[in-house]
Amino acid sequence: MNQNYRQTIAIIGAGASGTTCLIQLVLKYVVNRCTTPLRLLLFERKPEFGPGLAYGTGQEGHLLNTKAGLMGIVPGERLHFVAWMHANRADIEEEYPDLEISPDSYPPRMLFGSYVKAMLQEYTDLAAEHDIEIEKVQDEIVDAQLLDDDRFELKSTQEETFLCDYVILATGNPAPSAFQEFKDLTQFLMSPWPSKKVLQTIRDKEASVAIIGSSLTAIDALITLVSNEHRGKIRFFSKTGLLPRVQAAQEVPFDRKYLTLPMIRQCIREKRRALRVTDLIRLFKKEVEEHQPLKPEWSIEKRTAKDTLPLLEEDLQQAYEGSNLYQNILYDMRDDIYPIWQLLSADQKLLFLSWVKPFYDINRHSIPIKNGEKLAALLKQGQLSITGSSKDLEWDGKRFVLQMQDGSTEYADFVINASGPAVTVDEMVDQPLLKQLLEKT
């Protein structure tokens, strides 16, 4: 073998996931005292390496939706981010004077982006000390070919080629794919990211804006606007109108008895068949009923087609008290969710996504109290409204027409697409590499 040969691993995507991969590769190489020469290629299509789209927002009002104490980028060290903030307290307090550094805080995402960048630099320096070659390439990989010698040839948008032994895909969440027919309209933003583009496009502070969706991404788009003094009407335009629920200030411990991995495996053994979504629903209901003095009326738990503000105010009260039982159960399941998901067959996973996911998401992927209070204030002021029965969207040449299922219409000067990431490779308009790989298989 060529004495100058280095085993080469390519990481495609240099956001938080790609950075975590690099950290682990460098750390394992150093800890295991490897001697095989190693080269790491880190590809990123944007100029900045580390934060990625999620944590490079540039807007202080965009908060983490998960507590700082769970956000350590080093696997198994959930408090690592908090420890880093304490180590950099002086600089952080100067830049973010209102931030409380604690495991229960929700720091700005841009601060977490600074943390990821710092970790990338720290482990790049560590790699250099151990003769690991790291090359950062600002380019997008659009194709990959498996060669006869079992290596990969990667091709970029700049028509460069790179040879490597292994490839790790860390391309991040794909952009929304819905409403491609409006992509060439200046008044239609295909994504809330980057937030700078939103502010450059919607300069009229009195303009009416429709945001497609009502989940975390829609809330980010809303905060981008109102944090920059937008005064016009803003409407969430979605099929369900369901807002994420509000997280308690401190996580409430919960001791599960039924919705556990041992009980799920027992269910599979006793029924002598694969796990079904209905089994999970039954165990969840049993868990809830065990901890409530009165058996809940499940029929009234449905949150669709209800006035949003009273629901949000009730959620805020439960967050202050830590009394959201559904949320407490799901948070306690944090480490079991992926193993449970693996037990579901493909058809049951699809059933979960179409049947349960909207209600699971609003409880599991919730918002900090600060954002909940901000939403409630905007609803009370009348600047924000939420439509949960959307049907269609049209452009009449001057403005957007929002059609509801009951036949009524609303209008908007601008639309921001926050409908969520594309879920099939065919729909991933911003992921050319994944499309190419799928076609090759």
Distance of CA 63 to the CA centre of its chain: 12
Tens digits of per-residue pLDDT, 239-279? 888 999 999 998 899 999 999 999 999 999 999 999 999 99
| pLDDT higher than threshold 80 for residue 294 | no
Q: Is 72 helix (H, G, I), strand (E, B) or coil?
A: coil
| pLDDT higher than threshold 90 for residue 425 | no
Residue ranges per structural domain of the chain = 7-62+108-169, 180-244+368-420, 261-364
| pLDDT higher than threshold 90 for residue 18 | yes
Tens digits of per-residue pLDDT, 56-93? 888 899 999 999 999 999 888 999 999 999 999 999 99
Confidence of residue 295 (pLDDT cuts 50, 70, 90): confident
Assigned superfamily of 7-62+108-169: FAD/NAD(P)-binding domain (3.50.50.60)
DSSP summary character for residue 246? B
| pLDDT higher than threshold 90 for residue 4 | no
Q: What is the helix (H) or strand (E) element at residue 340, kind and residue range?
A: helix 337-343
Give dist(CA 339, CA 386) in Å, integer.
Answer: 35
22: closest CA among 6, 45, 44, 3? Answer: 44
pLDDT, residue 389, reads 78
Cβ atoms of 46 and 16 within 8 Å: the answer is: no
Tens digits of per-residue pLDDT, 169-201? 999 889 888 899 999 999 999 999 889 999 999
pLDDT, residue 2, reads 59
Assigned superfamily of 180-244+368-420: FAD/NAD(P)-binding domain (3.50.50.60)
Asked if 7-62+108-169 and 180-244+368-420 have one fold, the answer is: yes
For residue 412, what are its two tokens?
């908007």
91: closest CA among 115, 59, 126, 55? Answer: 115
Q: What is the DSSP string of 168-219?
A: EE---PPPP-TTGGGTT-TTEES-S-SHHHHHHH---TT--EEEE--SHHHH
Cβ atoms of 224 and 208 within 8 Å: the answer is: no
Give dist(CA 414, CA 68) in Å, integer.
Answer: 34
